Amino acid sequence: MKHYLKTFALLIVISSLPIILSNIFNFPSFKAQSDGLKGKEGSHFISSIEKKQLSPSFPVDEQINKVIYLTFDDGPNGYTQDILNILQSKNAHATFFLIKGNIDKHPTLLKEIIKKGNAVGCHSVSHRVDVFYSSPKVAINEMKVCQRAIYDQTRFHTPLIRVPFGSFPHLTNDIKNGLENENFIYWDWNIDSEDWTNNNPGQVYTNIVKQLNLTEKKGYIPTVLLHDKQVTVEMLPKLLDYLNEKGYKIKSITNANKPVQFNLHTSEPAS
Ligand SMILES: [Zn+2]
């Protein structure tokens, strides 16, 4: 009987060895992850790490330094200052795709956007499908005129653009190549807040959060389409609180980032 008990004890020790060893060798990376995730998640961070590790498409590095890009189109206008104040109060930055006529009307707001550490890009002159997409020459010229307006006010040269209403279905290969030959970098999005069609702040917030979960599963860096609008101002504090709580770094786009672009034939994000 004694012999039997000894064998049993030995078996337990042997079967536990892999767990003991993996705990010893995993400890440094586990500590790095807990450092990266500490904060408001508090004691829940262990279970959140375990959950995220189940997703193979989301590398560990991006779990620790999750980034999100918020993009605001059609300004600057009467809502831009409120958006800037809210972003600053929540330690967030964003990217503003501006229309040339609005830059002329609100040059001080343009300077304020940049002064607060946000990025700017061009969003055309006409903002009209029938005009902007009529030829590569027109599209390139509109973006150059807009780029020049930003430069004249700020001495800041931006290659970032968003074509009116996004690249799908209007952007032809000819116009795309023409813009890229002029070193413009065009950005679409992978989360549509639908603030352009919806005036209910709660609904716009829900649209974003729902799509954010899908974007995470696919391993994309979430890039959100928003506009300088009243509904967006109203829902923005809640959205930023949510993103901060989830551990996102809310950053502006840089010229070095790989742009989110639709597949020109399907409207699905191509990257
Ligand atoms: Zn627009």
123 CA to middle of ligand 1, Å? 7
pLDDT tens sequence for the chain (271 residues): 455 555 555 454 455 544 444 443 433 332 232 323 222 222 223 233 323 333 334 444 445 579 999 999 999 999 999 999 999 999 999 999 999 999 999 999 999 999 999 999 999 999 999 999 999 999 999 999 999 999 999 999 999 999 999 999 999 999 999 999 999 999 999 999 999 999 999 999 999 999 999 998 888 999 999 999 999 999 999 999 999 999 999 999 999 999 999 987 766 765 4
Enter the tokens of residue 108.
Answer: 């001080």
15 CA to middle of ligand 1, Å? 62
Which secondary-structure segment (H or E) carries 28? Answer: helix 2-37
221 CA to middle of ligand 1, Å? 21
Q: Please answer whether residues 218 and 84 qualify as being in contact, where contact means their C-beta atoms are separated by less than 8 angstroms.
A: no
Q: Which fold has domain 66-251?
A: TIM Barrel (3.20.20)
Backbone CA torsion sign across 115, 117, 118, 121: positive
pLDDT at 6: 58
61 CA to middle of ligand 1, Å? 33
CA distance 194 to 168: 16
73 CA to middle of ligand 1, Å? 5
Q: Which of 252, 204, 208, 260 is nearest to 229 (CA)?
A: 204
130 CA to middle of ligand 1, Å? 14
**Residue-range domain boundaries for the chain:** 2-62, 66-251
127 CA to middle of ligand 1, Å? 6
pLDDT at 72: 98
Q: Which of 72, 63, 74, 1 is nearest to 32 (CA)?
A: 63
11 CA to middle of ligand 1, Å? 68
Cis peptide before 169 (omega within 30 of 0): yes
162 CA to middle of ligand 1, Å? 8
Other beta carbons within 10 Å of 40: 12
Enter the tokens of residue 95.
Answer: 């990217």
Report the half-sphere exposure of 76 (CA within 13 A, side-chain side).
Answer: 22
